[in-house]
């Protein structure tokens, strides 16, 4: 049975006290909740990871980082290594997010190196892929997705230690969501590719999340699709009430 993952991606938001208040409210809520196969993840800014992971050890929320460096250690000012994340017992790390590809020029090759490092230190990668509006309008969405998968997963072995997030770039932070059918089409394509490249067992057990303006109003329909196993949620995850509402919907399905 695949996990349904509801993951908040706070990006570069919240003051420390706001982050702490959010974690208190979230864990109070989760303590009295039957989650079933739903897993809740908060991807916090790096300086708050330690605080957030203190909540994780007591409660049922998992913590993710938003970035990692591809090197082991050394003179890389401002960077964080996979071994550091592992030493803080961080469970997940987002890689390949379109904002990192766009603003920090991250390539599929670099993302592949980051993925290998995370696996080496047993931090589960949340690998983001997705097409731009221009690519969708040109009708090359499938090609783009398959190329990103092929390059980022070159020479990678996977068991259940990988989460994929399909995030159409045109839907991120724009309020414009892919229709459930548009998303399902690509999720199916991803699962089929994983099955061919790895095995059907792996493709059936891997969680593929949707990301891009997911919110309480549209999460139900998206999660109803057979190949959508949760969400990577930006804007709407900053608001504790919205985040709780989305967890409730996932649990009810
Ligand atoms: P959004 O962001 O929900 O604000 O569109 C999603 C993401 O970038 O992971």
- DSSP annotation string for 53-102: HHHHHHSSEEEEES--BSSSSSS-TT--BHHHHHHTT--EEEES-HHHHH
CB 154 within 8 A of CB 112: yes
User: Which residues have C-beta within 8 Å of that of residue 183, sequence separation ≥ 6?
Assistant: 166, 168, 210, 222, 225, 228
Put simply, whether the predicted model's pTM sits higher than 0.85 gets the answer yes
Q: Does ligand 1 lie within 6 Å of residue 130's CB atom? A: no
CA distance 145 to 166: 9
Containing 166, the helix (H) or strand (E) segment is strand 163-166
Distance 235 CA to ligand 1 centre (A): 6
**Can you name the residues that pair with 92 across neighbouring β-strands?**
64, 124
What ligand 1 atom has the least distance to the C-alpha of 236? 3
Pair type for strands 61-65 and 38-43: parallel
Q: With the C-alpha atoms ordered 69, 190, 61, 17, is the resulting torsion angle positive or negative?
A: positive
Distance 216 CA to ligand 1 centre (A): 13
Q: Does ligand 1 lie within 6 Å of residue 96's CB atom? A: no
pLDDT at 108: 98
Which residue lies with its CA nearest to atom 7 of ligand 1? Answer: 234
Q: Does ligand 1 lie within 6 Å of residue 214's CB atom? A: yes
**Can you name the residues that pair with 40 across neighbouring β-strands?**
6, 61
Q: Tell me the pLDDT of the chain (253 aa) as tens digits.
A: 799 999 999 999 999 999 999 999 999 999 888 999 999 999 999 999 999 999 987 768 999 999 999 999 999 999 999 999 999 999 999 999 999 999 999 999 999 999 999 999 999 999 999 999 999 999 999 999 999 999 999 999 887 789 999 999 999 988 888 899 999 999 999 999 999 999 999 999 999 999 999 999 999 999 999 999 999 999 999 999 999 999 999 999 9
Q: Does ligand 1 lie within 6 Å of residue 237's CB atom? A: no
Pair type for strands 4-9 and 230-233: parallel
Question: One of 39, 70, 97, 187 is an active-site residue; which one?
Answer: 97
The domain total for the chain is: 1
CATH number of the domain where residue 89 is located: 3.20.20.70
Which residue lies with its CA nearest to atom 1 of ligand 1? Answer: 234
pLDDT at 1: 76
pLDDT at 38: 95
What ligand 1 atom has the least distance to the C-alpha of 9? 9
Q: Any catalytic annotation for residue 97?
A: yes
Q: Does ligand 1 lie within 6 Å of residue 203's CB atom? A: no
CA distance 89 to 63: 9
Q: Does ligand 1 lie within 6 Å of residue 234's CB atom? A: yes
Range of the domain at 244: 4-252
DSSP 236: G
Helix, strand, coil tally for the chain in percent (to 5): 45, 15, 35
Q: Any catalytic annotation for residue 167?
A: yes
User: Which residues have C-beta within 8 Å of that of residue 25, sequence separation ≥ 6?
Assistant: 240
CA distance 207 to 191: 9
Distance 45 CA to ligand 1 centre (A): 15
């Amino acid at each position: 049975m695949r996990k349904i993952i509801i993951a908040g991606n706070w990006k570069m938001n919240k003051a420390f006290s706001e982050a702490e208040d959010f974690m208190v409210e979230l864990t109070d809520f989760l303590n009295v909740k039957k989650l079933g196969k739903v897993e809740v993840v908060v991807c916090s800014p790096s300086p708050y990871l330690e605080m957030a992971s203190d909540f994780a050890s007591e409660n049922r929320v998992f913590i993710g980082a938003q970035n990692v460096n591809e090197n082991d250690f050394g003179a890389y000012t401002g960077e964080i290594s996979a071994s550091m994340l592992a030493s803080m017992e961080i469970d997940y790390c987002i890689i390949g997010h379109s904002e990192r590809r766009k603003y920090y020029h991250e390539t599929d090759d670099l993302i592949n190196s980051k993925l290998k490092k995370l696996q080496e230190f047993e931090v589960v990668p949340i690998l983001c892929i997705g097409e731009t509006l221009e690519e969708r309008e040109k009708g090359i969405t499938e090609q783009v997705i398959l190329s990103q998968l092929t390059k980022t997963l070159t020479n990678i072995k996977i068991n259940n230690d990988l989460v994929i997030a399909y995030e159409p770039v045109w839907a991120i932070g724009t309020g414009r969501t892919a229709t459930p059918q548009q998303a399902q089409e690509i999720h199916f394509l991803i699962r089929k590719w994983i099955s061919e490249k790895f095995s059907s067992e792996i493709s059936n057990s891997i969680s593929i999340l949707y990301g891009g303006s997911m919110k309480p109003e549209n999460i139900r329909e998206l999660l109803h699709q057979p190949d959508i196993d949760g969400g990577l949620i930006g804007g709407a995850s900053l608001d504790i009430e919205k985040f709780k509402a989305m967890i409730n919907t996932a649990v009810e399905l």
